[in-house]
Chains A and B, each alone.
Chain A
Amino acid sequence: MGGLQVPLEHVLLLAAVLFSCGLMGLMLRRNIIFMLMSLEVMLNAAALAFVAAGARWGQADGQIIFLLILSVAAAEVAVGLGLVLQIQRRFKTLDMDQANRLRG
């Protein structure tokens, strides 16, 4: 099955709006779980831009960068959620403003 011909700037516009949403969520939220979710949204928007660029020239490179972004997101979430568990255990809260000391 062939792909779809859509205006590239519409896809990039969507990626830009999604990225801005993620950035706003990152600045707005104080709960570390929501901050990690905002980071996921931002990484996903970047991946969308890469896949759109790959589709623009019909090359596989965009999807390969998507794979690399996927592995970065997986590693980041694994370490980040481990840190969430530690912060909850030490500070008894998920508020990032409370967790500003390196040694609890």
Chain B
Amino acid sequence: MMEVLFYIAAMVALIATMAALTRANAAHALIYLIVSLLAVAVLFFLMGAPFAAALEIVIYAGAIMVLFVFVIMMLNLGEAGNTREREWLSPRNWVVPGILAGLLLLELLLALRHAPTTTSGVSVDPKTVGLTLFGPYVLAVEIASMLLLAGLVGAYHLGRRFIVRREGQR
């Protein structure tokens, strides 16, 4: 029964991702991407990683996608943008990216062929994750905090100039 849930979630993730990357309307693509991320969160939960599943929903499908929504709303793309996107999505543009991505996928499949094994079925609870995170991996936490600080400063710098110029234009 649970295996069926797993494969259903995997199919949902695949279909939603394909749909997200082929939409012309950015807002529609974003909703499909959120569905795909929620399906991956279900996969995490079923594989025994409940903490990762919660973070996938809260941070990926919540915070990061909300940032995308804000920017799409601020840009106000409209119907002209959709028409231009449809032009760019014409079939002849698909050939080379499709072939290259297909070849890489083929290589990955060949590399994965000789690994018949199953996941352990052991659920790793958040307490274990936290103890490991602040034990052997504490240096990685520090580096991640510096990375996030750099992202914060960079985003503030870029966005602040945008807001100042907008006010100056009025």
Contact = CB atoms under 8 A, between A and B. Distances in A.
Interface string B107-149: 0110010011111111110001101110001001000100110
Contacts of A76: 151
A71 B148 contact: yes
Interface residues of B, number: 88
Chain A interface, >50% SS class: helix
B35 interface: no
Nearest to A89: B162
A55 B105 CA distance: 23
A60 B124 contact: yes
B16 to A, nearest CB: 10
B52 A16 contact: no
Most chain B CB within a 10 A radius of its CB, from A20, A55, A74, A94: A55
B64 A23 contact: no
Given A23-B101, A37-B21, A62-B49, A75 B29 contact: no
Contact of A16 (B74, B88, B108, B117): B108
B121 A21 contact: no
Interface string B62-94: 011001101110110100010001001100011
Interface in A5-51: 5-14, 16-25, 27-31, 33-34, 36-38, 40-41, 44, 47-48, 51
17 contacts: A3-B46, A3-B119, A18-B17, A20-B108, A24-B98, A54-B49, A54-B124, A58-B122, A71-B144, A72-B147, A75-B152, A79-B155, A79-B158, A84-B71, A84-B75, A85-B158, A89-B162
